[in-house]
Amino acid sequence: MMINGVQIDDTFAEAFNMRGTRVIITAQNHKWAYNGANAMTGFATSVIGCGVEAGIERELSPQETPDGRPGVAVLMFAMGSAVLMKQLENRMGQTILTCPTAAAFSGIEGNDRINLGKNLRFFGDGFQISKQFGGKRYWRVPVMDGEFITEETTGMVRAVGGGNFLVLATSQPQALAACEAAIEAMTKIPNVIMPFPGGVVRSGSKVGSKYKTMFASTNDAFCPTLKGVTDTQLSEDIESVMEIVIDGLTEADIRKATYVGIEAACKLGGENGVKRISAGNYGGKLGQFQFHLRDIMNDKSLSGGSA
Amino acid sequence: MSALTFTLKKDLAQKLDVSPLTPDLLAGKSLAEISATLLWYGKKQIRVDEAFEITGKDTNEIVFDQSTSKIDYIGSGLKTGRITVNGDAGAFLAFQMHRGNITVNGNVNDFAATEMAGGLLLINHNVGDYLGAALVGNKKGMKGGTIIVKGNAGDRIGDQMRRGIILIEGNVGSYCASRMLAGTIGVLGNVGEYVGYGMRRGTILLTQTPKLHATIQDCGIHTMPFLSLMFKSFSDFPSKFAHINQNRVHRFAGDIGNDGKGEILVLK
């Protein structure tokens, strides 16, 4: 399969069941909402080292937030509910409680509720105040800038993590340009985040290592400088490979984001050095979900800017 | 189906307890069964059809017409449906109400919404003392739900109130929110003496600074973002409170004679 001179490999991305939540961070203005949300979602690229994968889903206008202030929506994913809860509370406590003017609210319904500000209230040392409006419980914690407002809980849902695709190009700048174009299009898709720096990861991994202590190590089959010494997956003209990892609330959200991302990368086309699109998997044995690239790119119902 | 309507035909000399006449207790009953239901009238019991003319069938929607302040316990323990009272209501209106909706197009006596736990009570005229309070001897008053009063209210509004919202568009008497445990009381008119007397937690929202007693302490003027959340949650209420959109307030804390975690917020 070729799109605009770019080969789409007959392969699939392998993805996993995760637990996810959405939190709405509001502040006096978008600048401070981003300051809080960026800190909250910092160092949250991969569950392996960070516990959670998190990112900013989108910006929210004052009309879209519970308290009528500018805000952003944050999505956070983890492999289990316990670690998601722990990470959420830690990150809330260190980044949103501390961020001037910031407040946090539940951004998703769900029968499973996890603590948002439930335990942060104890920072109030007895001066905290609970208020219940419209069936929801909020906490007001007196802090030096005024009051920190947080909803008691947020919803937790079943989600999907680890959707991905690889961009293979004839040079490093061209691979990055294609990924940047893909990310720009994908950030407009709701219910997904691309958790790596700028949405792009260069250190794709394989399972296992020659070193006993390592569970995963560099994906040498896709490392361009090792073409001559490993069982390479790269043709002569490929000089750089980058990956985009996608976490989403549902399988359909990831399919949509994959389509939109690959479409944007392919728009640059073969003449801009974008040669191949591939995907990372573990032979289909580990993940509950498979995202077959050609199947997705043939599904024209996925085209269009937003869901 | 038209609403099940009880039109008062008896000139009441004694108090009449209509607590059996709620949607949940009458559901599925025939007209004959409803007519034969016994109500306490003073110290004896009378049949429903001795006191009321009964029309309509929909037990989920009950109307009391020609109601007077002699009729007590309207909507007692209400768990579902809607009750409309045309005329006045007696004592213990909405006693321990759980869910549903009660509207009174008239004045209401004392002890309305005693130990109310949920639902919406709308009073289109005035209400007496101890609105949303506890039964005498009990330690917790209203535990949830919303009360909207278009007129004035008497003394001891929200006495020992534990949770929920009381919004009064007119004036209130003395000792408003006395011994309040938590919850929210809003008053657009004047309040009498000793507002928040002995309050432990909870929020009283006022439009003008009242004369405060010594154990309510001034905390200064502040912009409080939680008020946006609160007024947003009021926006669907059939009340003047739905149109307030202001979060600059003068905050007083107290009653420091009883823990002092309560607050009186005066809109600026």
What domains can be seen in chain A, in order of their start residue? 2-14+159-302 (3.30.70.520), 19-157 (3.30.70.520)
Cβ B225–A69 below 8 Å, yes or no?
yes
pLDDT digits (tens, 9 = 90+) for B154-186: 999 999 999 999 999 999 999 999 999 999 999
Q: Is residue B228 part of a domain?
A: yes
Task: For tokens 């009391």, name the residue.
Answer: B64
State the amino acid at position B216 in one-letter form.
I
Is B173 part of any domain?
yes
Smallest Cα distance from A180 to chain B, Å: 38
Task: Give A307's pLDDT tier (boundaries 50, 70, 90).
Answer: very low
Q: Give residues 145 to 184 of B whose Cβ lies within 8 Å of A.
A: 163, 182, 184
- Any residues with CB less than 8 A from the CB of A285 and at least 6 apart, and which? none
Query: What count of other Cβ atoms lies within 10 Å of the Cβ of residue B264?
Result: 30
Partner residue opposite B224 with nearest CB, options A69, A134, A147? A147
Q: Domain total for chain B? A: 1
Does the pLDDT value for residue B150 go beyond 70? yes
Asked if the Cβ–Cβ distance from A133 to B230 is below 8 Å, we say yes
- Of A45, A268, A46, residue with least CA distance to A168: A268
Residue B178 resides in a domain: yes
pTM, two decimal places: 0.92
Q: How far is B20 from chain A (nearest CA, A)?
A: 29
- Render pLDDT for B205-249 as a digit per residue (tens, 0 to 9): 999 999 999 999 999 999 999 999 999 999 999 999 999 999 999
pLDDT exceeds cutoff 80 at A149: yes
- Is B203 an 8 Å CB contact of chain A? yes
Are A130 and B224 inside 8 Å of each other by CB?
no
B-proximal residues of A, 120-179, CB under 8 Å: 126-127, 129-134, 138, 140, 146-147, 149
* Angle formed at CA A143 by CA A141 and CA A147, multiple of 5 degrees: 55
Residue A305 — pLDDT band, cuts 50, 70, 90? low
> How far does the CA of residue A95 sit from the closest CA of chain B (Å)?
19
CB–CB contact A131 B263 (8 Å): no
Q: Could you report the per-residue pLDDT of A96-143, keeping only the tens digit for each? A: 999 999 999 999 998 899 999 999 999 999 999 999 998 899 999 999
| A14 beta partners | A290
User: Domain span at residue B214?
Assistant: 110-267
Bridge partner list, B52? B8
CB A123 within 8 A of CB A147: no
CA distance B233 to A286: 47
ipTM above 0.90, yes or no: yes
Terminal C-alpha separation, chain A: 25
